[in-house]
Chains A and B, each alone.
Chain A
Amino acid sequence: MARQATDTQSGRIMAETATAQPAGTPDAHGAAAHGAHATSTGLSNVKLGMWLFLGSDCLLFGGLISTYMLYRGRVSNGPTPEQVYDIPFTSVSSFVLLMSSLTMVLAVSAAHKRDDRGTNLWLTITALLGATFVGGQVYEFTAFYNEGLGFTTSLFGSSFYTLTGFHGAHVTVGIIMLLALVAINKRSRVPGSKSETVEMIGLYWHFVDIVWIIIFTLVYLIPV
């Protein structure tokens, strides 16, 4: 029988328990949840795919950020960035999103300990913090619009709304995945059976956070 190291956090495979455990037992399900299929790399294909996706998503946001940097000074007759940006408000939003990364990593940590109650609690808090951030973004967009900055007002407006809108859409998708995972976890009868899924959604969520770290500095804090 093939024996491989059990190491879910480094993406390794639990082939040992998958081959030894009779099907239908809780532990067999737990092993399956940790990616109990032998792969040629010895790493979880799901995790490899997620990192590949995140690497490619860098190119998407790189394009959007570059476009904004190029056009942020092209305001036509509309308001300038300095006239519309509310740095104290955006700083609070940024802090909220940053702290959601902490709650997300605590959810992942709880999932690896097979603590479903703790996992669901931290996932829910993460979703609430994410929703707070998106709510703040909606408020900010509304305020900007009322100050005369529409999507087609200027190149600055178009590039700003496209960049931050795409990021907001990513956060919204993340919130939906978090809440769906909580619902699935609550229906699951096997503790810790979704730990790899929690970890994957965690990677996505942290990625959304690091993209905002860049946006906050380059878009909001560095003047034109």
Chain B
Amino acid sequence: MTTQPATETHTAVAGGHASAEHASAEHGLSTRGYINIALILAAITALEVSTYYVDFGPLFLPALLIMMAVKFVMVVSYFMHLKFDNKLFSWLFYTGLFLAVGVYAAALATFHFFLR
């Protein structure tokens, strides 16, 4: 490794800052984008709560589970940046998630939970 002259070093660092800002813009949303996501999440939450007051019939359970999944994916993808991040992070997280879902679905099935 060699030490660069001060001016060249400063240029490299300045380039690093510019690159970081570029990365920030490229690998995430703007403030307005985050607010829009939050508004969508709030609207879905309001819809979820409405199922407590309005009879959705046979659609009640599937609708609630779909809305829950959509909110989950939106927070993970946009607020936690998994959509923009390295895929290895997604693998680590979703492996744990699907392992948990699989293990506990099997555990509940042994207690005949889904036949009730």
The yes or no answer to A138 lying at the interface (CB within 8 A) is: no
Contacts of A56 in B (CB 8 A): 96
Whether A20 sits at the interface, judged by CB under 8 Å, is: yes
Contacts known (A101-B79, A221-B64); A58 close to B89, Cβ less than 8 A? no
A-B contact count (CB 8 A): 179
Complex Cα gap A1–B86 (Å): 25
How long is the Cα–Cα vector from A31 to B61 in the complex, in angstroms? Answer: 49
Q: Does A210 contact B (CB under 8 A)?
A: yes
Q: A95 → chain B, closest Cβ, in Å?
A: 6
Report B75-97 residues with CB < 8 Å from chain A CB.
Answer: 75-76, 78-81, 84-86, 88-89, 92-97
* Residue from the list A54, A57, A102 in contact with B38, Cβ < 8 A: A102
Q: A20-B12, A70-B113, A217-B67 are in contact. Are A98 and B42 (CB under 8 A)?
A: yes
Q: Known contacts A91-B45, A95-B42; is A9 also within 8 Å of B72 by CB? A: no
A47 to B46, CA, bound (A): 33
Instruction: For the complex, give the distance between the alpha carbons of A101 and B40 in Å.
Output: 13
Bound: A2/B8 CA distance, A? 15
With both beta carbons as reference points, the residue of chain B lying nearest to A60 in the complex is identified as B100
Inter-chain contact B67/A106, CB cutoff 8 Å: no
Give chain B's interface residue range (CB within 8 Å of chain A).
35 or more
Given B19, B95, B104, which contacts A63 in the complex, CB threshold below 8 Å?
Answer: B104
**Would A87 and B52 count as touching, CB distance under 8 A?**
yes
For A52, the chain B residues whose CB sits under 8 A away are: 92, 96
Stretch at the interface among A11-19, A149-157, A160-168, A174-182: A11-19
Q: Contact: A7 with B1, CB < 8 Å?
A: no
A65 to B108, CA, bound (A): 11
Q: Of A10, A54, A57, A213, which one neighbours B75 at CB under 8 angstroms?
A: A213
Shortest CB distance B34–A (Å): 5
Name the residue of chain A whose CB is nearest to the CB of B13: A27
Contact with B along A27-61 (1 / 0, CB 8 A): 10001001000000101000110011011111101
Where the two chains meet, the residues of B that have a C-beta atom closer than 8 Å to any C-beta of A are 1-4, 6, 8-9, 12-13, 15-17, 19-21, 23-24, 27-28, 31, 34-35, 37-38, 41-42, 45, 48-49, 51-52, 61, 64-65, 67-68, 71-72, 75-76, 78-81, 84-86, 88-89, 92-97, 99-101, 103-104, 107-108, 111, 113
Q: A17-B13, A22-B9, A41-B88 are in contact. List 5 more A-B contacts (CB 8 A).
A: A1-B4, A9-B85, A69-B113, A113-B21, A213-B71
